[in-house]
Structure 1
């Protein structure tokens, strides 16, 4: 299982500092949506230049003009970018077309999708690299939120998937046991006193 760092920071300076501390322990470096919106696609180029051996993930959460936005992300240096699962199939297909043109991949983010397992199968058939079973920060803050719901849906879908939704050291084994291809960790790394140590512990837990 791969380990993905989700950098939900706002400045390129902070992103470069954080990624520099933890890159040796992670496989995928994700520029979170707030970072891309605040710093622009130039941040993607900068992170890829700093870590050319890592998979760089631009979390655009594209909802329309899939081919256009995916092409822009890939041109900037992204290896993967995201389209929302609630987007029209034509938007997802357009992004996947751009991915094929550039030799890169499209991840479909299922945030906000009611039947995640069913939609995961549909977008995989369209050509998605993998799907992300995702609960956003606002959803995680609600009473009764349970990461296990995402893991169950991932198992049910039977397609390549990642999990993002408050994954931490004490749940990483459950994510691995679910069959996930990628575990996405944000605050479980960047909100700790020692991000490098947190990333190392997560790496050790899944190795």
Structure 2
């Protein structure tokens, strides 16, 4: 199992600090949507360029202009980019077509209906992100989400999960064996000692 650490709602200085802490330990370092909106890829690229051992994800949450946004994001150094599952199947296909064999498209399924998912669940190399909406104000039921999704979409090969993942959820997901990537944000970056907290997650999932 891989861990993707999301850096969100931080200053550029804080983002730089977290990258230095996580590089080479987190499998994937995510530059969250809030960072992209606040600073843009031009300002984030120099920070990303300093990453030596982890993979880079820009959480672009593309909903249209798929070909352009994915071409641009990869040119800015991303290994992973995100497209919303609620985007049109044509947009998702354009993003997929712009993704080379050594790059990864992640499809964010936050609040996407089963009917919509069934139209796009045939992209074998894509990662399908089960994204619990924390705005709902209820805790994530991570293993239940994973098992229900796998049952409904047995041909999907790569599954990730995000939205309130803590150590207990990570342990349960590891034991379940369905999810390939866990995405953790505030549980690590909001901890008084984020480096040690990341190590706790790694001890559980590796």
> Fold match, TM over 0.5?
yes
- Segments of structure 2 that go 5 or more residues without pairing to the other structure are none
Q: How far apart in 1 are the matches of 2:46 and 2:133?
A: 26
Q: How far apart in 1 are the matches of 2:203 and 2:144?
A: 25
Q: Please say if residues 89 and 119 of structure 2, whose CA atoms lie closer than 8 Å, have aligned partners that are also in contact.
A: no
The structure in which a higher percent of residues are helix is 1
What is the count of residue pairs matched by the alignment?
202
For residues 112-141 of structure 1, the C-alpha deviation after alignment (integer angstroms, 9 at most, x for no partner) is 11228x71x6434245521100013313x2
- Segments of structure 1 that go 5 or more residues without pairing to the other structure are none
Structure 2 CA distance for partners of 1:181 and 1:122, relative to 1, 3 Å: farther
Partner of 1:111: 110
Deviation at 1:48, TM superposition (A): 2.7
Q: Say what the alpha-carbon RMSD is for the aligned residues.
A: 2.1
Q: Please say if residues 80 and 105 of structure 1, whose CA atoms lie closer than 8 Å, have aligned partners that are also in contact.
A: yes
Partner of 2:145: 150
Structure 2 CA distance for partners of 1:164 and 1:110, relative to 1, 3 Å: same
Partner of 1:193: 192
Partner of 1:170: 168
Partner of 2:132: 135
- TM normalised by structure 2 equals 0.89
Q: How far apart in 1 are the matches of 2:74 and 2:148?
A: 29
- TM normalised by structure 1 equals 0.89
